[in-house]
Amino acid sequence: MGTEYSAKKNLSSSIYLIYRKIRFLKRRGTLFRKKPLEKPALIKKSPQGTFRGKIYRLYRTLRFLIHAGKLLRKKPPDKPTLIKKSPRGTFRGKIYRLYRTLRFLIRTGKLFRRSHNVKKGHDRPDLKIVFRKFRYLFKRRKLWSAFYDRIKKLIRTKFAFLGSREYLIILINSTAFFLLAYLFVYLITNVSVIIAAISFNIDSVLYYYDIDFLIRGSEWVPDAVKVVYTTGPFVSLILAILAIIIYVNVAEETWTFRLFILWVFCHSFIHFFGEFLMGNLLGKGFGYVIMYLFFQDTPKMVLTLLDFMIILFTGLGLTRLFLFSGNIYLNKLDKSNRMPFVLSQLFLPFLIGTGIILLIKLPKISSLEIGVDFSMVILLMPVIFRARVSQDLFLEEERKRIKPFWILLIAALILPVLFRIILGIGVRI
For residue range 31-53, list pLDDT tens digits in order: 776 665 565 555 555 555 677 87
pLDDT value at position 18?
Answer: 84
Domain boundary among 103, 138, 156: 156
Indicate the number of domains in the chain: 2
Higher pLDDT pick, 285 / 383: 383
Domain boundary among 156, 191, 210: 156
pLDDT at 359 over 60: yes
The reply to whether 400 and 333 lie within a common domain is: yes
The reply to whether 197 and 151 lie within a common domain is: no
| Strands 427-428, 204-206: pairing kind | antiparallel
The reply to whether 95 and 235 lie within a common domain is: no
pLDDT at 429 over 70: yes
**Predicted model pTM:** 0.63
Q: Is residue 29 part of a domain?
A: no
Q: What does the pLDDT average to over 362-377?
A: 85
Q: Is residue 1 part of a domain?
A: no
* Top-ranked range on mean pLDDT: pick from 176-185, 326-335, 394-403: 176-185
The reply to whether 145 and 173 lie within a common domain is: no
The reply to whether 246 and 183 lie within a common domain is: yes
Residue type, 152: K
| Domain with 308 in it | 165-428
The reply to whether 186 and 138 lie within a common domain is: no
Whether the Cβ atoms of residue 399 and residue 331 lie closer than 8 Å to each other: yes
Neighbour count for residue 215 (Cβ, 10 Å): 16
Domain boundary among 121, 138, 156: 156
Q: What does the pLDDT average to over 355-376?
A: 87
Q: Is residue 60 part of a domain?
A: no
- C-alpha distances in angstroms, 127 versus 108, 224, 345? 18, 53, 40
Greatest distance between any 2 Cα atoms in the chain? 170
Length of the chain (residues): 429
The reply to whether 177 and 148 lie within a common domain is: no
DSSP annotation of 398? S
For residue range 56-112, list pLDDT tens digits in order: 888 888 888 877 777 666 555 555 555 555 555 677 777 788 778 877 877 776 766
Confidence grade of residue 121 (pLDDT, cut at 50, 70, 90)? very low
The reply to whether 129 and 243 lie within a common domain is: no
- Angstrom distance (rounded) from CA 245 to CA 243: 5
Higher pLDDT pick, 92 / 409: 409
Q: Is residue 380 part of a domain?
A: yes
